[in-house]
């Protein structure tokens, strides 16, 4: 592996961009990754996803969640090259600055591949799934190709991290329906845009987002890294998903304590 795939260096964020994120709960940033980096990670992540995907069912036999994407998690523990992307100081620094915190830790990573003909991703907020005691959490959604609307580019509801309605819903047809109505009646702006090559979005744990079906013949390949504040504490799980997340993503962490396990290293720490 060559030096250029360490995904180091810094990405200069303006104060306007940080304020945009704080107000809207998401931001799309261009030129975060180079073409060479994207091509390299597309190759290595695709190999792992193909190796590890166990779902060979035809689309019509799957539920809404399984139609939406193939989901393969914590790839950093299996592949040193992917670890360079997940542990990237360039990306972790962006996460830290957008959240306005002093350090960021890894929660987990996941590849989300929306197959050709794959279904829509219903409106939802991720933090419903997470046993985290503050809202200092953020996902970097990293497309591994230029991503058009027809492929299912991620859509956001601007400012919806403030909305409480719908937070109690898991991803499914119900969340699509209920959240869509709540967002419409709240007057939230819906952002539906393609992603250029190298563009990466960041969204907060409580920001509502969705994606359209993949109407192309190509797989929409995306890698995600989920970060949390370095001082994030484990909360008492409030649903079965949160219990499972505790077991899988932060095993051994104690309720009320900082989530400091070997799966949750600090990825960036520096005074602003």
Ligand X SMILES: O=C(O)CCC(=O)C(=O)O
CB 159 to ligand X: min, Å = 17
Which of 17/110 has CB closer to ligand X? 110
DSSP state of 181: H
Which of 152/230 has CB closer to ligand X? 152
CB 169 to ligand X: min, Å = 13
Closest CA to 114 of 56, 171, 70: 70
Which of 64/102 has CB closer to ligand X? 64
Closest CA to 209 of 144, 126, 113, 110: 126
Distance CA 215, CA 203 (A): 24
CB 68 to ligand X: min, Å = 6
CB 220 to ligand X: min, Å = 8
CB 271 to ligand X: min, Å = 29
Distance CA 220, CA 119 (A): 11
Which of 144/224 has CB closer to ligand X? 224
Instruction: Report the C-alpha dihedral over residues 247, 67, 177, 240, rounded to 10 degrees.
Output: -10
Which of 68/182 has CB closer to ligand X? 68
CB 201 to ligand X: min, Å = 9
DSSP state of 217: S
Chain residues in the site for ligand X (CB under 6 A) = 68-69, 112, 114, 121, 126, 139, 141, 152, 154, 209, 211, 222, 224
Which of 93/137 has CB closer to ligand X? 137
Distances in Å between the Cα of 93 and the Cα atoms of 12, 67, 217, 243 are 10, 33, 35, 29
DSSP 141-180: EEESS-B-GGGT-EEEETTGGG--TTTT--SSHHHHHHHH
Closest CA to 90 of 227, 241, 242, 260: 227
């Amino acid at each position: 592996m060559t030096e250029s795939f360490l995904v180091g260096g810094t990405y200069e964020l303006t104060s306007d961009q940080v304020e945009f994120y704080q107000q809207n709960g998401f931001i799309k940033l261009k030129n975060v990754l180079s073409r060479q980096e994207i091509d390299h990670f597309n190759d290595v992540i695709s190999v792992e996803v193909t190796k590890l995907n166990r779902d060979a069912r035809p689309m019509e036999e799957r539920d809404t969640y399984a139609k939406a994407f193939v989901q393969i998690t914590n790839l950093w523990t299996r592949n040193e090259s992917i670890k360079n992307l997940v542990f990237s100081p360039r990306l972790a620094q962006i996460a830290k600055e957008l959240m306005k915190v002093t350090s960021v830790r890894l929660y987990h990573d996941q590849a989300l591949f929306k197959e050709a003909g794959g279904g829509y991703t219903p409106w939802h907020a991720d933090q419903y799934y997470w046993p985290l005691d503050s809202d200092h959490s953020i996902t970097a959604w990293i497309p591994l190709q230029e991503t058009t609307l027809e492929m299912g580019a991620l859509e956001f509801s601007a400012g919806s991290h403030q909305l409480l309605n719908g937070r109690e819903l898991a991803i499914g047809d119900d969340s699509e329906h209920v959240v869509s109505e709540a967002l419409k009646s709240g007057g939230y702006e819906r952002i539906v845009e393609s992603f250029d090559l190298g563009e990466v979005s960041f969204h907060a744990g409580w920001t509502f987002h969705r994606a359209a079906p993949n109407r192309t013949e190509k797989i929409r390949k995306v890698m995600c890294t989920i970060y949390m504040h370095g001082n994030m504490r484990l909360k008492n799980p409030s649903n079965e998903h949160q219990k499972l997340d505790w077991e899988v993503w932060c095993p051994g962490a104690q309720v009320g304590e900082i989530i400091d396990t070997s799966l949750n290293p600090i990825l960036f720490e520096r005074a602003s």
